[in-house]
């Protein structure tokens, strides 16, 4: 179940495994009291210990439900924060102007809930590209204006407002979509994001690293080896 869940969310959520018998201090620090245990480390959480100076990100415990592949996928997806901007006919103009020169990506969709894929992209591209979601029921006029005739449809609006939107015609899969958006995103976060992080100090810097790289439920179990994960996103040390 764990390996299947990791495969299903490859590129979106990082899965890892920890042998609690070998790494007893880490397991204790994470509050592991039974085996197996599943915890999710959520982007945007955690703080710096004022006494030790070390950064700590607490885990969210998997409780209730079965530890099936579907149960783990649902659990991990619900833990991901979302920076996706809801876009309607009324807010379409302000979305395009938001962030001035920052590129925007807008997904026209018939789904009622934001997907794990879109939430993950909104976090990883924070400060470099704004991710929006326009649902068919609330953005029909915007879709017609942009000649969107089928769903789902993704458009990228370059930083230059005078440029035409760029349609994405590939598969809505993590690897392909990430590559496409990265090619149009800013290389570095905008100044406002950098300034905000500077105010937060070291805590923000470390938290950003975990937000991008360690969006991962970690299974803590006896005799468990590492669960496979995307080679492009190496597993970071346990946040303890």
- Record the pTM: 0.68
Residue bearing tokens 């955690």: 46
Tens digit of each residue's pLDDT (9 = 90 or more) over 122-144? 998 999 999 999 999 999 999 99
pLDDT at position 193: 53
pLDDT at position 173: 87
Please state, for a pLDDT cut of 90, what percent of the chain lies above it.
34
Q: Give the residue ranges of the chain where pLDDT is below 70.
A: 44, 64, 99-100, 191-240
pLDDT at position 169: 93
pLDDT at position 218: 40
Q: Which residues contact 74 (CB under 8 A, 6 or more apart)?
A: 65
Tens digit of each residue's pLDDT (9 = 90 or more) over 6-48? 888 887 888 888 888 888 888 888 888 887 888 888 776 777 7
Q: How far apart are CA 106 and CA 201, in angstroms?
A: 32
pLDDT at position 190: 81
| C-beta separation of 119 from 82 below 8 A | yes
């Amino acid at each position: 179940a764990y390996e299947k869940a990791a495969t299903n969310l490859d590129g979106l959520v990082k899965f890892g495994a920890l042998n609690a018998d070998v790494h007893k201090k880490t397991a204790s620090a994470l509050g592991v009291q039974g085996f197996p245990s599943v915890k999710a480390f959520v982007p945007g959480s955690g703080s710096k210990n004022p006494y030790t100076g070390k950064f700590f990100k607490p885990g969210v415990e998997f409780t209730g439900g079965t530890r099936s592949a579907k149960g783990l996928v649902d659990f991990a997806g619900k833990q991901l924060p979302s920076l996706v901007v809801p876009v309607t006919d009324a807010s379409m103009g302000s979305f395009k102007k938001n962030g001035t020169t920052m590129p925007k990506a807008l997904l026209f969709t018939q789904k009622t809930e934001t997907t794990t894929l879109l939430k993950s992209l909104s976090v990883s591209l924070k400060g470099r590209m704004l991710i929006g979601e326009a649902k068919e029921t609330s953005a029909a006029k915007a879709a017609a204006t942009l000649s969107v005739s089928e769903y789902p449809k993704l458009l990228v609006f370059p930083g230059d407002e005078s440029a035409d939107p760029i349609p994405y015609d590939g598969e809505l899969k993590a690897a392909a979509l990430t590559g496409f958006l990265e090619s149009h995103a800013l290389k570095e976060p905008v100044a406002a994001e950098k300034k905000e992080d500077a105010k937060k100090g070291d805590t923000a810097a470390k938290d950003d690293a975990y937000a991008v790289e360690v969006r991962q439920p970690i299974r803590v179990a006896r005799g468990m080896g590492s669960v496979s994960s995307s080679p492009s996103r190496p597993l970071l040390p346990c946040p303890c």
